[in-house]
Amino acid sequence: MTTLEFTIVVWLGSFLAGFLGALTGLGGGVVVVPMLVLLLGVDIRYAIGASLVSVIATSSGAAAAYVREGYSNIRIGMFLEIATTVGAAVGALIAAKVSGGAIGFVFGLVLLYSAFLSRHDPSKHFVNKPPDALATKLRMNSDFPGADGREAYNVYQVPGGFGLMFGAGMLSGLLGIGSGAVKVLAMDQVMKIPFKVSTTTSNFMIGVTAAASAGVYLSRGYIDPRLAMPVMLGVLAGSLVGAKVLVRANVRVLRYVFAIVIAVLGIEMLYNAVTGKL
Amino acid sequence: MTGTQASWNDQRIEQIIGVLLRVGVSLSAALVFAAGIAYLWQNHAVRVSYQQFHGEAAELTSVAGVVRGAASLDALALMQLGLLILIATPVARVLFAAFAFALEHDWLYVVVSLIVFAVLMATLTGWVV
């Protein structure tokens, strides 16, 4: 392919990935990397470098819209970012040490897990426990705009959430994805933070987490501007359009279809990793 | 919010951060797009392949190298500079949060923000490689 053809194909694919990523809440990274690796034969290190950059664009681009709604909790986000940034730096260092096949193998597993997760609806939990001492000391308990005025919520199990966030950061640094699914899992399931607060705070954290591994990727030569340019612009445009459509669309069916696509990509990624094609 | 003195509450901090991020992303996207068009103009017919990984040229793997290349109006370095601006947006966000927490006299979170900032700087300056 010539540079021009390649750029256009990558832009279109990235647009689609960003669009679907926004609609399903999985983010563009989990689709962009397999697309580049499996369909266009890009080396996985270049693919995760370009994907990571697009992850920052999506996170920062969507933030302005999210803050207006007043759901995200800046204290929870900032505290947990200690874990995600250190994890991301460690993950990026591991990515530099292991083979492309090993990265592909872990990526395949994460795709299968994402496919499994995306079939589920967000959980609703009502907690009637006294406030957690550590969360209170860290001033994490807050409120968010509910149906009738501001609804207060308490945060629990800070150490557990912090530990899982380290894992989320590592995955992000290793695979060049936002790993928003794991971040939401840590906040929603472990720390019992309301789902809407979890997702918006996670979006905020994704950009900071990705920036921590971007430095390592840059000095390792994973970020190729010729590839990152169409990926970043495509995913960003796709995710902005996706976020607009999301307000009106019924995403249940789409999420189901998307889960199957992700699962197929995951199996193919695992197959290629095991047979040494990556 | 008109007519009242806006105080430094969390909501206001996050609104300013939101604007900061959006400006950063727009600036980055515009630069990457413009430099990308210039690059394609010069190299559109060149054959490309990313099947083999061989890293990037030294000028594209450090902040100093990228800035030098961009100063000489090299299209690739300008694209990379746009990507660096993008990477810098969350870093600026963390620094601004530290500043805003200081205005709130929330010293615990000033320290938390500065720890995150230190980790980011350690990786971006190539100290952790």
At A155-168, the pLDDT tens digits run 999 999 999 999 99
Of A70-74, B10-14, B35-39, highest mean pLDDT = B35-39
Distance CA B21, CA B17 (A): 6
CB contact under 8 A, A220 and B45: no
Distance CA A209, CA A171 (A): 10
**For A13-22, A134-143, B48-57, which range has the lowest pLDDT when averaged over its residues?**
B48-57
Distance CA A192, CA A186 (A): 9
Higher-confidence residue of A237 and B16: namely A237
B6: pLDDT strictly greater than 70: no
pLDDT confidence of residue B30: 97
Number of CB atoms found within 10 A of residue B15's CB: 17
Q: What is the pTM of this model?
A: 0.91
B4: pLDDT strictly greater than 60: no
- Tell me which residue in A60, A68, A211 faces B25 most closely, judged by beta carbons: A60
**For A47-56, A201-210, A251-260, B52-61, which range has the lowest pLDDT when averaged over its residues?**
A251-260
A112: pLDDT strictly greater than 60: yes
A177 and A12 in contact (C-beta within 8 Å)? Answer: no
Distance CA A103, CA A11 (A): 24
Q: Could you say which DSSP state residue A187 is in? A: I
- Tell me which residue in B15, B91, B126 faces A67 most closely, judged by beta carbons: B15
pLDDT confidence of residue B127: 75
What percent of chain A lies above the pLDDT cut of 70? Answer: 93
Model confidence at A244, in pLDDT bands (50, 70, 90)?
Answer: confident
pLDDT confidence of residue B15: 79
CB contact under 8 A, B86 and A53: yes
What percent of chain B lies above the pLDDT cut of 90? Answer: 57
Distance CA A206, CA A234 (A): 18
Query: A140, A239, A248, A112: which is closest to A198 by C-alpha?
Result: A140
In one-letter notation, the amino acid at residue A105 is F
**For A69-83, A200-214, B48-62, which range has the lowest pLDDT when averaged over its residues?**
B48-62
Count the residues in chain B.
129
Question: Is residue B48 left, alpha or beta, with left meaning phi > 0 and alpha meaning psi from -120 to 50?
Answer: beta
Number of CB atoms found within 10 A of residue B27's CB: 15
Q: Which residues of A touch B89 (CB under 8 A)?
A: 56, 60, 207
pLDDT confidence of residue A127: 65
pLDDT confidence of residue B74: 92
- Sign of the Cα torsion A48, A10, B85, B116 reads negative
pLDDT confidence of residue A249: 67
For residue B69, what are its two tokens? 């290349």
A108: pLDDT strictly greater than 70: yes
B7 CA: distance to closest CA in chain A (Å): 16
Arithmetic mean of pLDDT, B76-93: 94
pLDDT confidence of residue B2: 39
Mean pLDDT of chain A: 89
Count the residues in chain A.
278
A26: pLDDT strictly greater than 50: yes
What residues pair up with A92 in beta bridges, in sequence order? none
CB contact under 8 A, A223 and B56: yes
B11 burial level (CB within 10 Å; 0-12, 13-18, 19+) = middle
CB contact under 8 A, A63 and B44: no
Per-domain residue ranges of chain A: 3-274
- Helix B10-43 to helix A44-69 angle (10° resolution) is 140
At B39-64, the pLDDT tens digits run 999 998 888 888 888 888 888 998 88
Structural element, H or E, at residue B39:
helix B10-43
- Tell me the helix, strand and coil percentages in chain B, rounded to 5: 70, 0, 25
CB contact under 8 A, B44 and A3: yes
Q: Could you say which DSSP state residue B47 is in? A: B
A64: pLDDT strictly greater than 50: yes
Q: Which residue of B has its CA nearest to A210?
A: B87
B110 CA: distance to closest CA in chain A (Å): 10
pLDDT confidence of residue A205: 92
- Sign of the Cα torsion A117, A156, A171, A220 reads positive
